[in-house]
Each structure stands twice: as C-alpha cells, then as structure tokens.
Amino acid sequence: MAIDPYLDPATGLLRNRLGITDPAAEAFFTRLLIAQLEQRPASGQFDLTDLQAIHRHITQDLVDWAGELRTVDIAKGNTFCPVQNLRSYAAEVFGKLVRASHLRGLPREDFVASLTAFYGDLNALHPFREFNGRAQRAFTTQLAH
C-alpha cells in the first residue's frame, strides 16, 4: 500500500495544524470560515483558481496544503480523477462552464439541470485530498448567485 503523505502514520488521521481529532469540531471550524466567504467571495471567474482560493480560505488554518491540488489518487466508493489527469480534466470541466456562460440567463429548470451536471463533474474531479465537498458547495453557492 502506498504511503499517504496527508495522513499521520501514528493515528491514520488527516494531518492538521490544530491537532483536531474530532470530526464535529473540524466541521464547526470550517463552517465558520465558509460563512466568511459571503463577505469575501472568489474572483467571479469560476475557474479552478477560484475553487482553489475557496479551498484555501476554508482550510488555511487547518492544513499545510490548503488550496493545493492533491498529489495522490483517492477513492470513496468510486475512484476520483487520477492525479495525473487533474489539470486536463479540470480544464474540461471549467471549459464547459465557460461555454455555458457560467449558467447565466438559463431558465430555472435548465439552470438546475446544468448546475447538477457541473456539480457531478466537479465531484468526479475531486482536486483536493480532503474538504472537496465543502469547497464545491461554497463554489456552487457563489456560482448560483
């Protein structure tokens, strides 16, 4: 089995700067940072750089790799985008979003369908070692407004 540099070998838990071992405490901490994004939104380009900025904001006090693309392959039931394909698949996913004019001006039904498809693609990309769901939700919340 490959060594995962993101995990503490002694505990098997994700390394974090604050030594948090309680998932509820970590979730509470990140919720506070997500709430701050309303006052400090991403650039509005709605690209990989914006997603990385959101991830960085949410995790900057927790992990050394905040906003950085993962360096290992990961799976949760299904395998996510292989690490060697992250940038090319991200270009494809965000390229579709650009070609769809960031979903602006769509009728509600089309917007919901398009946002759902984009969210699925973003989840398959899973560009970070952890905290993808929180970053994706914050990103798509900003996209929807």
Sorted by where each begins, the domain ranges of the chain are 23-144
Q: Which of 134, 142, 132, 138 is nearest to 104 (CA)?
A: 142
Prediction pTM value: 0.90
What pLDDT score was predicted for residue 90? Answer: 98
Please tell me the predicted confidence (pLDDT) of residue 25: 86
Question: Rounded to whole angstroms, how far apart are CA atoms 30 and 135?
Answer: 10
Tens digits of residue pLDDT in 91-108: 999 999 999 999 999 999
Q: Is 137 exposed, middle or buried (0-12, 13-18, 19+ CB in 10 A)?
A: middle
Task: Considering the domain delimited by 23-144, tell me its CATH architecture.
Answer: Orthogonal Bundle (1.10)
Tell me what pLDDT residue 13 has.
77
pLDDT reading at 1 higher than 60:
no
Helix, strand, coil percentages, rounded to 5, for the chain: 55, 5, 45
Measure the CA–CA gap between 60 and 139, rounded to whole angstroms.
Answer: 16
For residue range 119-139, list pLDDT tens digits in order.
Answer: 999 999 999 999 999 999 999
- Assess contact for 58 and 35: CB atoms under 8 A: no
pLDDT tens-digit series, residues 21-65: 888 888 888 999 999 888 877 778 899 999 999 999 999 999 999
Is the pLDDT reported for residue 112 higher than 80?
A: yes
**Closest alpha carbon to 97 in 82, 126, 119:** 119
